[in-house]
Amino acid sequence: MTLIRTPSDIDPSEITPESVYRERRRFMQAGLALSGAALLGEAPFAQATVTPFTGLTRSAFSVDESQTEYKDVTGYNNFYEFGTGKEDPAANAHTLRTSPWSVTVEGECAKPGTYTLEDILKPHALEERIYRLRCVEGWSMVIPWIGFPLADLIKRFEPTGNAKYVEFETLRDPERMPGQRRSVLHWPYVEGLRMDEAMHPLTLMAVGLYGAALPKQNGAPIRLVVPWKYGFKSIKSIVKIRFVEQQPLSSWTRAAPDEYGFYSNVNPEVDHPRWSQRSERRIGEFLKRKTLMFNGYAEQVASLYAGMDLRKNF
């Protein structure tokens, strides 16, 4: 059964209205308040100071599945910059300062520079996309993200023909990110995508979830979401985008190359060296379910890897 419609199936009535473009400044003001509400375990709109996005259109790429509860999405996370426990990010991320925020663009492109978050967001229409997120440890969620296609951002920077990959970097700030004081990983956190993966319409730059700004523990103020890959590929709190010719050395591949390959596509036929990937537990459910190839997005992305050995290129 097809759960995601292709762009040709999108009805003109679903095009994002002009009102969405006017949400940028309110997003900047709402982020800090939303993070505080999440840390207190409250619903995203329970606080009068939290301003939700309005006029959002649900993307045709959304899956039609029950969404994971907000308390689980914001309280059970991998964000090693704030600790290795699943509850550590919610407990410790209040120290992260998300305003002002800027993203530096480097490498093989015509328009490098340092852009404020408002610069990044200004031309882009935000939409809601309900995506599955599958973590390599064997658990999964369904999350209503708010964001815009990474491809739209990349086009603005005009990468050259030498740009074969896109490399991303997370903020490095050991004072406010206590997990970086430990050598669990090489800091700052680095991830990368092949250019065609980055330009795929499913690849999302997310700035919110559940209709409002990202909580800090979920990667505020801007993060990547690549729904057909394991969750660690969806790098959080991005401060640098670099267009490069050679394949980037991502943080988990650098730390454990036998366990975490560069591609990290969800593939139930390729086990992690220490556990099977054939099943998963959806947070909020008791029974396990079968893991789907490419996390259920095979119809949309399998062609990216035609002819590749997906066991060698894991």
- Per-residue pLDDT tens, the chain, 314 aa: give them: 344 444 344 443 333 343 443 444 444 444 434 444 433 343 333 333 456 888 899 999 999 999 999 999 999 999 999 999 999 999 999 999 999 999 999 999 999 999 999 999 999 999 999 999 999 999 999 999 999 999 999 999 999 999 999 999 999 999 999 999 999 999 999 999 999 999 999 999 999 999 999 999 999 999 999 999 999 999 999 999 999 999 999 999 999 999 999 999 999 999 999 999 999 999 999 999 999 999 999 999 999 999 999 999 99
Render the chain in DSSP notation, one character per residue: ---S--GGG--GGGSPPGGGGGGHHHHHHHHHHHHHHHHTT--TT-STT-----S-EE-TT---SPPPPHHHHHHS---GGG-SSTTHHHHHGGG---SS-EEEEEESBS--EEEEHHHHHTTPPPEEEEEEEE-TTSEEEEEEEEEEEHHHHHHHH-B-TT--EEEEEE---TTT-GGGGSTTSPSSPEEEEEHHHHHSTT-EEEEEETTEEPPGGGTTT-EEE-TTBBGGGS--SEEEEEEESSPP--HHHHH-TTT--SS-B--TTS-BTTB--SEEEETT-SS-EEPPGGGGTHHHHGGGGTT--TTT--
Structure tokens at 115: 């852009």
Structure tokens at 49: 């100071």
What is the C-alpha separation between 221 and 238, in angstroms, rounded? 8
Domain assignment present for 80:
yes
Cα-to-chain-centroid distance, residue 258:
24
Domain assignment present for 96:
yes
Contact 297, 202 (CB under 8 A): yes
Domain assignment present for 1:
no
Rounded to whole angstroms, what are the CA distances from 153 to 46, 99, 227, 280?
Answer: 32, 21, 18, 33
| Rg, Å, the chain Cα set | 18
Paired strand residues for 68: none
Total residue count of the chain as it appears in this document? 314
Domain assignment present for 11:
no
Closest by CA position to 200, among listed 78, 307, 298, 127:
298
Q: Which residue has the tokens 């139930």?
A: 268
Contact 44, 37 (CB under 8 A): yes
Domain assignment present for 53:
yes
Expressed as residue numbers, the domain containing 106 is: 17-301
Q: Which residue has the tokens 């036998």?
A: 258
What is the C-alpha separation between 28 and 131, in angstroms, rounded? 24
CATH code (residue 139): 3.90.420.10
Rounded to whole angstroms, what are the CA distances from 161 to 104, 108, 197?
Answer: 20, 8, 16
126 exposure class (CB count in 10 Å sphere: 0-12, 13-18, 19+): buried
Domain assignment present for 128:
yes
Closest by CA position to 145, among listed 136, 134, 154, 133:
133
Domain assignment present for 232:
yes
Q: How many domains is the chain partitioned into structurally?
A: 1
Domain assignment present for 290:
yes
